[in-house]
């Protein structure tokens, strides 16, 4: 897993994001605002879909423009690790890593993401655990593991 911070208020952030996208071959970009007002009637179904544990065949790249959210990822011991995402945070989740996402109590998070030009080859979960192990030090320095049964509302920010 990779982490970058590009503060939205910094004049260099836009070019820094562009440079990163170019260096990693990201070509496709989408933007989304996860909130009841932006998503209307689809909000409840979407937030449930995002919070269901899932993985992707390609990297998942999230740049948080505004609001806050939580990414939960599985560590090498198959425990959930919660990562609070704030404005300016950019996370790159490797292909095949199990994860889920939710917003905080404010119920709003604006993000954009990119996709690589070529999709990564699907890897099995065991292979992806070695990638997770490599970033375990970074993640566990900032965020302790949480249990599978933890309620989203009961988790306090680790920042």
What was the pLDDT predicted at 114? 65
- DSSP 8-class letter at 78: S
Class of domain 2-148: mainly beta
The pLDDT of 19-24, averaged and rounded, is 90
Domain assignments of the chain as residue spans, ordered by start: 2-148
Residue 116 · residue 56 · CB < 8 Å: no
pLDDT at 25 over 70: yes
Residue 143 · residue 115 · CB < 8 Å: no
Instruction: Band the pLDDT of 116: cuts 50, 70, 90.
Output: low
Q: What is the largest CA-CA distance in the chain?
A: 41
pLDDT at 132 over 50: no
> Pairing between strand 145-146 and 89-93?
unpaired
Rounded to whole angstroms, the Cα distance separating 92 from 17 reads 13
- DSSP 8-class letter at 117: S
What was the pLDDT predicted at 152? 40
**95 by DSSP, 3-state: which?**
coil
**Of 143 and 46, which is predicted with more confidence?**
46
What was the pLDDT predicted at 86? 94
Residues of the chain with pLDDT > 70: what percent?
71
> Pairing between strand 80-85 and 145-146?
antiparallel
Residue partners of 147: CB distance under 8 A and separation at least 6: 79, 80
**Which of 39-48, 102-111, 148-157 is most confident?**
39-48
What was the pLDDT predicted at 115? 65
């Amino acid at each position: 897993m990779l982490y970058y911070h590009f503060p939205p208020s910094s004049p260099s952030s836009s070019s820094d994001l562009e440079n990163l996208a170019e260096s990693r071959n990201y070509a496709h970009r989408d933007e989304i605002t996860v909130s009841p007002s932006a998503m209307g009637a689809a909000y409840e179904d979407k937030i449930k879909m995002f919070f269901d544990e899932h993985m992707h065949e390609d990297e998942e790249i999230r740049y948080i423009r505004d609001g806050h959210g939580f990414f939960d990822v599985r560590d090498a011991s198959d425990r959930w690790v919660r990562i609070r995402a704030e404005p300016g945070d950019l996370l790159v989740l490797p292909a095949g890593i199990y994860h889920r996402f939710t917003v905080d109590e404010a119920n709003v998070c604006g993000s954009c993401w990119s996709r690589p030009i070529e999709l990564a080859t699907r890897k099995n979960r065991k292979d992806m655990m070695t990638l997770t192990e490599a970033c375990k030090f970074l993640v566990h320095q900032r965020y302790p593991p949480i249990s599978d049964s933890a309620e989203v509302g009961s988790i306090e920010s680790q920042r």
